[in-house]
Structure 1
């Protein structure tokens, strides 16, 4: 899954600065629905990661039933947090 492709799918553009607030909320809601319906772990992770970067991800225990998937999500959060601190 390509990041820009996912942004275009849910928001109609890969430029998040150009997305009006109502369209942003609608795209996030669409992603949350797709996350709930996703059967493949990789697809669920990608959707959760995008939601996380937008500040709208569900809690790990809600998003992932498997502990290894929750651990992968924690690792991503740690990596993103470290990158933010370096800026």
Structure 2
């Protein structure tokens, strides 16, 4: 998945920091809804990563409670991101 394409799809821009609070809230709501109904595992994970980047992702245990492999992948993603941020 292409990050710019996802941002354009949900926020009508590839620069979400330039959005008004209301515009950002609408895009985030659309993203949450699509995440909640997505059935394809890799697409669901990609949507979660976008949500994580925006600071709105649920914890891996909540996001992937019925998908242990995705939960583990999300936890590893967070560990790697934390290590990069720390270093």
What's the offset of the Cα at 1:59?
A: 2.5
Runs (5+) with no aligned partner, structure 1 = none
**Residues paired across the two proteins, number:** 86
> Could you tell me which residue of structure 1 aligns to residue 3 of structure 2?
3
In 1, Cα distance between the equivalents of 2:8 and 2:82?
A: 25
Structure 2 length-normalised TM: 0.91
Stretches of 4+ aligned residues off by more than 3 angstroms: none
2:49 is aligned with 1:49: yes
> Could you tell me which residue of structure 1 aligns to residue 69 of structure 2?
68
Structure 1 length-normalised TM: 0.91
Superposed CA deviations along residues 9-30 of structure 1, whole A, max 9, x for unmatched, are: 1111111221111111111111
Superposed CA deviations along residues 62-86 of structure 1, whole A, max 9, x for unmatched, are: 3211211101001111111112112
Superposed CA deviations along residues 8-56 of structure 1, whole A, max 9, x for unmatched, are: 1111111122111111111111111001110100111011111111111
> Could you tell me which residue of structure 2 aligns to residue 29 of structure 1?
29
> Could you tell me which residue of structure 2 aligns to residue 79 of structure 1?
80
